[in-house]
Amino acid sequence: MLSCKDLTKQYNGITVVDHLTFQIKKGEVFALLGTNGAGKTTTIKMILELVEKNGGQIEKYGEYTIGYSPETPYFPPFLTAREVLSYYGRIQGLDKRDLKKDIATLLQLVGLEDNRTKVKVYSKGMLQRLALAQALLGDPMLLLLDEPTAGLDALGRVEMIELIGKLKSQGKTIIINSHILNDMERVCDGGIIIKKGKILYTWEKNADHHGKSLEEIFVETVKN
């Protein structure tokens, strides 16, 4: 589905992504793990072509659309959730006749009510849900989710992880950046742990990790 080889990015002479090489298979949920400043969000933005890479290659196999949910989503505060999705749907050029039905389905899917509540009173968790709904407009095959469970309470996190699992069962490929390792261990098939832009550990869900949890592996990997 996607391959990155020697992906590199520098800001003001400082390397923040350092020759990252990894592959993501179709239908896989892939974790980008690391401490703050490890280069995870920059990597996502290079895949999205929002940030220009300084070196390396990104190969996308086949024709497909991409949906993106940012870590800190922002929407016009005077709009409702339906209006937000309608606005972004029109920007994407989606068919108006199908958009109304799709919006209702997406809002129900992410657990938001279709009412007149303005986005300005939304909690962080509600904004995360709306960001996921926005990312799903147009039914993309590849999703890039930056901290999708941030700001959600315990129940909301469980529901979000279950939703990601449902999207996977529909054949979507998903890349997730998150600090909540228990969530990642539940839903991801594999991933990489990076520090200062370099891969320190490649994790696979069904591999032998000597009985260690992903959290234990992560702590041991990044503390050195």
- Grade residue 57 by pLDDT with cuts at 50, 70 and 90: very high
Q: What is the residue range of 53's domain?
A: 2-222
pLDDT tens track for 66-77? 999 988 889 999
Average pLDDT over residues 150-156: 82
What tokens were used for 89?
A: 């749907």
pLDDT at 34 exceeding the cut of 80: yes
At 19, list the tokens.
Answer: 């020759």
Retrieve residue 109's tokens: 């899917």
- Answer yes or no: is pLDDT of 116 > 80: yes
Does the pLDDT of residue 224 top 80, yes or no? no
Confidence of residue 152 (pLDDT cuts 50, 70, 90): confident
What is the pLDDT, as a whole number, of residue 85?
A: 95
Distances (CA, A) of 96 to 85, 101, 178, 217: 12, 9, 34, 48
pLDDT at 21 (0 to 100): 95
pTM above 0.85, yes or no: yes
Helix (H, G, I), strand (E, B) or coil at 145: strand
Which pLDDT value is given to residue 183?
A: 86
- Check pLDDT > 80 for residue 126: yes
pLDDT in tens, 181-194: 888 898 999 999 99
Split into its structural domains, the chain has a count of 1
Report which of 160, 132, 161 is spatially closest to residue 67, judged by C-alpha positions. Answer: 132
Please tell me the predicted confidence (pLDDT) of residue 67: 94
Instruction: Provide the CATH number for the domain around residue 48.
Output: 3.40.50.300
What are 160-177's pLDDT values in tens digits? 888 899 899 999 999 999
Q: How confident is the model at residue 120 (pLDDT cuts 50, 70, 90)?
A: very high
Q: What DSSP assignment string belongs to 15-68?
A: EEEEEEEEEE-TT-EEEEEESTTSSHHHHHHHHTTSS--SEEEEEE-S---EEE
As a whole number, the mean pLDDT across the chain is 91
